[in-house]
Structure 1
Amino acid sequence: MTHHSEARRPATTVAGVLALVGAVLFGLTACTTPEAERPGVVVTTDILGDITREIAGDQADVTVLMKPGADPHSFGISAPQAAEIEQADLIVYNGLGLEENVLRHVEAAREAGVAALAVGDGVDPLTYTSDDMAGRPDPHFWTDPTRVRTAARLIADRLVEHVDGVDASAVRANAARYDARLDDLSTWMSDRFAAIPRNKRNLVTDHHVFGYLAQRFGFRVVGAVIPSGTTLASPSASDLKSLATAIERAGVTAIFADSSQPDRLAQALKRESKVDVRVLPLFTESLTEQGKGAATYLEMMRANTTAIADGLGAPAPTPARPTAGTERKTP
């Protein structure tokens, strides 16, 4: 009996090992399957990408095509990125003519049946009023946080209604939390801009990008170095001369140029004008890498608000006074 029992022992051991390996493999498969099956959302610009990630949370994998610091008017995509657009469960894009080199890929995917959201169409877009752009839609709606609140709701609605596999309650909760933060941002911006004297609320930028901010917070857009809504255009000598005259008449003290673009044109305009004009950087059309000043939409807007308020002569905000009983006594 002893002899037969020992002969069977290796077979029993092998069977146990195989069972254990099978259990481990099953466990690994069970753990990784939900992750692999998460829906995929492709977003064209990094600003919308940040907003979409806040709304989607862990309910979808969000892929952003545009790199930090890129120009949305001119960035292109690779063949693998084009394939990602075609395979997405949802495409989120700005629209209104912004992504000039990517829109054909988006349109092709839409025609093939991929769900897509043109966010700009749903935020009550403005049109340009300058002579060369009159009547064309202005795609830079993100400079108005109130319209971004609308954009965030549109993204949440589209995720819930058209993307299988997301938890609607989780998406709605994410959207509500982010909406509260956007509301706080809008209130804070209003307070900071209110400190700028009315006669100094004049904006000159490197191209027409702050129309929405101007409408929301009561600024006057004197002009742009590039008299266009796209950075792909360029000004003529007469354009620079006309804008220099307008700057002198309005008493403008600062020109704002995008931090990701060389400010050569703004510096040239500064030389054309007879007033002392500073050229100050803003984050206008793209986020930055982490730690570079505008890694999120909220961080970008706070940095821009501070730069505009300081550049146009707003007094520094008064530090919050300590509440009663919290004052430190000098030892």
Structure 2
Amino acid sequence: MQNRRLLALPLVAGAAALALSGCATSSASGDASGDGTVRIVASTNVYGSIAQEIGGDDVEVTSILDDPSQDPHSFESSAKTQLAVSKADLLIENGGGYDDFMTTLAKASNTTADTINVVELSGLDQGGDAEFNEHVFYDYPTMVKLVADLEQRLTKLDSAHADTFERNAKTLTTKLDDLESQTAAAKEKVDGEEVSYTEPVPGYLFDAMGLDNVTPEAFAEAIEEGDDVPPAALNDTLKLFTGKQVRLLAVNEQTSSPETEQVQKAAEQADIPVVGVTETLPKGEDYVSWQQANIDEITGALAK
């Protein structure tokens, strides 16, 4: 499903583009500022965290969406974000229609920096009639691919610190492999258990754990697109909880609507665990600690 609310809101880029029209564009030299620091701009702090962990002190990372209290579907650009993009040596976007504001910012700044499109890197979007879940940051094999790609690109931009990038990438990959091992172990215990979510944010994590999401597609799609939920889809979703048909409900903590509140209330009244998920990192967390908390909360809820 394409998260159109995140990308469809108008960017406040016109004035910013005019203000920055005299700014120098970035190059792929890894030294856009002349101080030897590789500058990376990521669409969200999810990707910013991964880039920082690999680059360490030898990179400067700007995450455009980095406020855990911010609705990630309500982004507006500013002169500050436009300036960061104009000076970047490398851009990281989710892709898949999730953060098209990155393309708008890049065009407005005339940057020549390379862009990592994580959806394209993942290889998960096979086309076809099924709606694609663009929340690939919940897919650990994709994050392993991203780490490898970042290591190669940073080495090309700053070969003097290649050993650091390689060491940091290896350490992070080991941690990601551990997350994969945990989901595989969980699958042996909960494979086939039926669950629900308000939006497909944790879909790839559910799949890795063998969980069967039974949320009516019309409900989740309407919530994700910011549309009115068809009455029949809402009724069918509520029945999952009144009939105690699912083991847990995952709720996107960064968005809310009367329908999601109604569904959450129904789950709580039925004593079905409600698990909160997010699209950006909570304050003080890095990617691995964030996902570890997600795994722990889901497995804990299923153990009840």
Shared fold, TM over 0.5:
yes
- Structure 1 residues 125, 250: closer, same or farther in 2, change over 3 A? farther
2:176 equivalent to 1:182: yes
1:60 aligns with: 59
What stretches of structure 2 of length at least 5 have no aligned partner? 1-32
2:142 equivalent to 1:147: yes
**Higher deviation after alignment, 266-275 or 120-129:** 266-275
Q: Find the residue that maps to 2:198 and give its secondary structure.
A: strand
**Aligned equivalents of 1:43, 1:303: Cα separation in 2:** 23
**Aligned equivalents of 1:155, 1:171: Cα separation in 2:** 9
**Aligned equivalents of 2:124, 2:300: Cα separation in 1:** 28
- Whether the aligned pair in 2 keeps the contact of 1:253 and 1:276 (CA below 8 Å) is no
- Structure 1 residues 218, 273: closer, same or farther in 2, change over 3 A? closer
**Aligned equivalents of 2:151, 2:298: Cα separation in 1:** 31
Alignment of 1:39-54 (within 5 A): 39-54=38-53
Q: Find the residue that maps to 1:230 and give its secondary structure.
A: helix
| Structure with more relative contact order (C-alpha pairs < 8 Å, separation 6 or more) | 2
- Whether the aligned pair in 1 keeps the contact of 2:39 and 2:59 (CA below 8 Å) is yes
2:295 aligns with: 305
- Structure 1 residues 101, 265: closer, same or farther in 2, change over 3 A? farther
Deviation per CA, 1:57-108: give whole Å up to 9, x if none: 1221111111231343332231121121022111111111111444311354
Q: Find the residue that maps to 1:167 and give its secondary structure.
A: helix
Give the fraction of aligned pairs with identical amino acids, expressed as a percent. 20
**Aligned equivalents of 1:82, 1:229: Cα separation in 2:** 30
TM-score (norm 1): 0.71
Alpha-carbon offset, residue 214 of structure 1: 3.0
2:21 aligns with: none
Q: Find the residue that maps to 1:103 and give its secondary structure.
A: helix
Alpha-carbon offset, residue 116 of structure 1: 1.3
Alignment of 1:173-212 (within 5 A): 173-196=167-190, 198-199=191-192, 201-212=193-204
- Structure 1 residues 273, 308: closer, same or farther in 2, change over 3 A? closer
**Aligned equivalents of 1:279, 1:267: Cα separation in 2:** 14
Q: Find the residue that maps to 2:294 and give its secondary structure.
A: helix
**Aligned equivalents of 2:130, 2:45: Cα separation in 1:** 27
Alignment of 1:237-316 (within 5 A): 237-245=231-239, 251-262=245-256, 264-269=258-263, 276-278=270-272, 280-290=274-284, 295-312=285-302, 314=303
**Aligned equivalents of 2:203, 2:291: Cα separation in 1:** 15
Q: Find the residue that maps to 2:112 and give its secondary structure.
A: coil
TM-score (norm 2): 0.76
What stretches of structure 1 of length at least 5 have no aligned partner? 1-33, 316-331
CA RMSD of aligned residues (A): 3.0
- Structure 1 residues 97, 281: closer, same or farther in 2, change over 3 A? same
Size of the aligned set, in residue pairs, is: 269
2:13 aligns with: none
**Aligned equivalents of 2:83, 2:266: Cα separation in 1:** 48
**Aligned equivalents of 2:113, 2:83: Cα separation in 1:** 12
Q: Find the residue that maps to 2:61 and give its secondary structure.
A: strand
Deviation per CA, 1:139-169: give whole Å up to 9, x if none: 21121212211121122222223x2465222
**Aligned equivalents of 2:111, 2:178: Cα separation in 1:** 40
**Aligned equivalents of 1:137, 1:249: Cα separation in 2:** 29
Of 133, 144, 157 in structure 1, the residue corresponding to residue 152 of structure 2 is 157
- Structure 1 residues 222, 146: closer, same or farther in 2, change over 3 A? same
1:104 aligns with: 104
